[in-house]
Amino acid sequence: MDEIIRIKDQFYILATSSRIDNRTRVLKHDDTFAVFDRYGDIEPVGIGELGIYHEGTKFLSRLGLRLEGDHPSLLGSVINEDNTLLTVDFTNPDFYVNKNLLAPRGTLHISRSKFLWKGVCYERLGMRNYGLHPVDVLFSFLFDADFADIFEVRGLKRENRGQRVEVVEENRVLLTYSGLDGIIRQTQLEWSPKPNEISSSEAHFRVCLQPKEEKTFFMTISCELSHNPPHHLSYDFAFTEMYKVLKSTGSQRCEIHTSNGQFNNWLNRSFADLHMMITNTPEGPYPYAGVPWFSTPFGRDGIITALECLWIDPEIARGVLNYLASTQAKEIIAEQDAEPGKILHETRKGEMASLGEVPFGRYYGSVDATPLFVILAGAYYKQTGDLSFIESIWSNIELALKWIDSYGDIDGDGFVEYARRSQKGLIHQGWKDSQDSVFHRDGTLAEGPIALCEVQAYIYDAKLRAADLASLLGHDSRAIELSYQAQALKERFERHFWDDELSTYNLALDGKKHPCRVLTSNAGHCLFSGIASPEHAQRTAQTLFGVDMFCGWGIRTVSSSEIRYNPLSYHNGSVWPHDNALIAHGLARYGFKESVLRVITGLFNASVFVDLYRLPELFCGCSQRPAENPTLYPVACAPQSWSAASVFLLLQSCLGLSINAPENKICFYRPLLPEFLQEIRIKRLPVGEASVDLLLQNYGQDVGIDIIQRQGPVEIAITK
C-alpha cells in the first residue's frame, strides 16, 4: 500500500487502461461532439472518452456495428478534409454455415458515413453484394447511454445520480435520464427501414442481397434536452443544409497555399479544425478549447486562439471579446474564484456543474485571461480599425484594468499574483495549471500567492495597448497613466525576475517573494509581450534553444536539467504547440528569425507524423530521434483550438507580418522562410475593410512579396 501513488489533483484525467488509441475520429458541431474509434464505433475501452456528447454530457456511451455477431473487417476510415464527414469502409470475413463457406471474405462492401448537425448524429450504412450468389446476412447495432457528465468520464466519482428509463418502439428507442439538476436528457435512436428485432440495447437487421444488389439503411441519434429538443431531418437534407453553411462561410475566408504539399496538409487540417471548434454563440463565434475534455468556452484558450489567427480571421477575435465582455465577473463569488473585472476561465453546462459538484458552471480561476483580454482588444483594433466596437467594450477593458491593479495585486507589491478562493477550484491559475507545475529548484512545490513571470509580461503589454486605445478614445490622461504604469512595471520586473546565473527569467515569485529559479518555457512569453530588455531577450532565446530545452520537435515546458522534469508529464517537460508559437512570435519581435525557423521546422516535422496532420494539445518532450515520430501524450485533446491555430502564428512570425488597418498597411519585418517553403500564396488577406492577394517567394535570406490582386487601398511596407 505504501507504494501506491495517490493523485491529489481532483481534476486529473484518470487513465485506467493501456488501450488508448490515438487514432480516434472526431466530429463536432456547435455544442455537440462525438469521438469514435476507427470503425466508427463507440466501445468501452481506454479511458472511456469515446461517445457522443452534448452540452457536457455523454448521450451515447456505446455503439457497435456487428456482422453476424462479430466485427466486420475494416478496410479504412477517414475524416474528410473539412472535418464534416466520417467515412468507414468494411468487408465481410469468411462466412460459414455448417462448415460450408457461404460467402468468402471480400464478397460484401459495407460503407458507413456519419456527420453531426444541430444536435443529431446522422448515419448512413450501405451494403453491396459483389458475389455471384445471393447472400443472406444479419447485421446489428449495439448501443447504450450512461449519460455520464464529462467530469465523470475524466474520473470523478459521484455519490448519487439520476434515473434512467427506456422506451422501445418498432423503429426507435428512447433512452431517458432524469438528472438531479431537474433537466431531462434523452437519447433517441431511430432507424429506416425498421429493424427486424429491436430491444433497449440492440437493433437487428436481416438482409438478403442478390448479386450486385445494394441496400441502404439510415440511423439518427438525437441528443435531446427537455428545454431544447432538436429538429429532425432526413440524412440527405441535413447533409445539404450543412454544406450550404460550410460553403457560405468558406467563400469569404482567407486562404493560404504553399509549394509544399505536406505543409498544405497541416494548414488545411488546421483551418478545418479551427472551423469545427468554433461554436456560434449569441455574442458571436467562439473557439471551444478542445475535444474531448475541454469542448466549452475557455477564456485563456479562446483569447490565444484568436490572437494566433487574428491576421487571417479577425471576426473570431471580435466574437471572443464580445463573449468574454458579456460574462465578465461583476462581484466577488468565492466558490467561483470571481472578482469584479475578472475574465472567465471556463463555463460548463453539465449536471455536475449545475449542481455545484464542480465549480465550473461559471468559473474565474485564471490569472492571465484578464490581461490577455485587454491585449486582444488592442490587437483587434490594429487589425481592423474597428474603434466603435472597442468603444462598446471600453468599460469592460477599464474594469479588467481595475482588477489588475486591485484584486490581482494581492499583496500590493506591484505584481499580479493568484491564490484561489474556492476550495474546489484550481490550485495553479496560469496556463500551466496542473498541481505540480510551479516549483523551486529543489523540487519543492511553490506556495502562494504566486506571481508568474509571463503574467507580469502580459500586464505590461496590456497596459501599453490600453494606453493606445485610451488615447484614440480621447482619454489622454488615462493613456499617460497607463504608459507610466507599464514602464514602471518593466523596470520592476527586470529587477525581481531576471536571473543572471540561469540566463533567463525566473518562473515565478512565491508567497514569500522567493524566486522559483527554474528553467521553463514561461520565460519565452516575456519576449512575446515585449517586456524583456534586448540583452535579456537575446540571452533568454539562447537558453530556450539549449539541448535541455529544445528537444528537436519544439521547446519543452521545463528543462531536462530540472529535478521535476518528466517528458511524459502534462506541464513539466512536454511540448505544447501554442506555447512554441507564442515564443516564436516573441523571437520574431526581437529579430531572432533563425530561431523562429527552428521552431516552425520542428512542429512541421511533428505534423507529418501525427494522425491526420493534426497537432494535438501537447506531445511528450522526448528528444527527437532520426526517422521516428514524436511520442504522443495519451490523453491530449485532438483537435485543440490553440494547437490548430499555432501554424498561423508561426507563419506570421516567419514573415514578420503585421497589419495596421487604420493606415491600410501590411508590414513585413525581416521576412524569412524555411527551406521547405519556397512559395506561399495568400488570398483574401483582410486589411480592415480591404483585402489583398499576395505571392511570397523564398530567396534564401530574403523573401519576395508581390501583390496579385487588391480590393481597396492597401500598402506594403518591408523592413529588412
Q: What is the pLDDT of residues 656-671, one digit of tens each?
A: 999 999 999 999 999 9
How far is 140 from 123, CA to CA, in rounded Å? 14
SS3 label, residue 221: strand
Q: Say if residues 637 and 291 touch (Cβ distance below 8 Å).
A: yes
Whole-number mean pLDDT of the chain?
94
Q: How many CA atoms lie within 13 A of 423 on its CB side?
A: 0
The residue extents of the domains of the chain are 25-246
Does the pLDDT at position 500 exceed 50?
yes
Q: Which residue has the cell 495553479?
A: 428
pLDDT-derived band of residue 423, with 50, 70 and 90 as boundaries? confident
All residues at 6 or more sequence positions from 543 whose CB lies less than 8 Å from its CB, including other chains: 502, 503, 504, 519, 523, 549
Residue 9's pLDDT band, with cuts at 50, 70 and 90, is low
Q: Which cell goes with 128?
A: 453491396
Per residue in 585-644, pLDDT (tens digit) is 999 999 999 999 999 999 999 999 999 999 999 999 999 998 889 999 988 999 999 999
Residue 540: which of 444, 454, 657 has the closest Cα?
454
Q: What is the pLDDT of residue 251?
A: 66
Q: Which residue has the cell 460484401?
A: 108
CA atoms within 13 A on the CB side of 587: 34
Nearest residue to 687 via CA among 713, 648, 720, 653: 713
Q: According to the model, what pLDDT value does residue 536 have?
A: 98
Pair 124, 143: CB distance under 8 Å: no
Instruction: Please report which helix (H) or strand (E) contains residue 279, including its range.
Output: strand 278-281
Lowest mean pLDDT among 47-51, 213-217, 383-387, 447-451: 47-51
pLDDT number for residue 627: 81
Residue 39's nearest CA partner among 73, 85, 83, 67 is: 73
Residue with cell 484550481: 426
pLDDT of 12 over the 60 cut: no
pLDDT number for residue 427: 93
Question: Per residue in 176-214, pLDDT tens?
Answer: 999 999 999 999 999 999 999 999 999 999 999 999 999
Residues shown for the chain: 720
Confidence of residue 577 (pLDDT cuts 50, 70, 90): very high
- Percent of the chain at pLDDT > 90 equals 89
Relative to beta strand 57-60, strand 51-54 is antiparallel
Asked whether residue 234 carries a pLDDT value surpassing 50, the answer given is yes
CATH number of 25-246: 2.70.98.40
Q: DSSP 3-state assignment of 635?
A: coil
* Confidence band, pLDDT 50/70/90 cuts, at residue 2: very low
- Read off the pLDDT of residues 292-311 as tens digits, 9 standing for 90 and up: 999 999 999 999 999 999 99
**Positive or negative: CA dihedral 414, 416, 419, 421:** positive
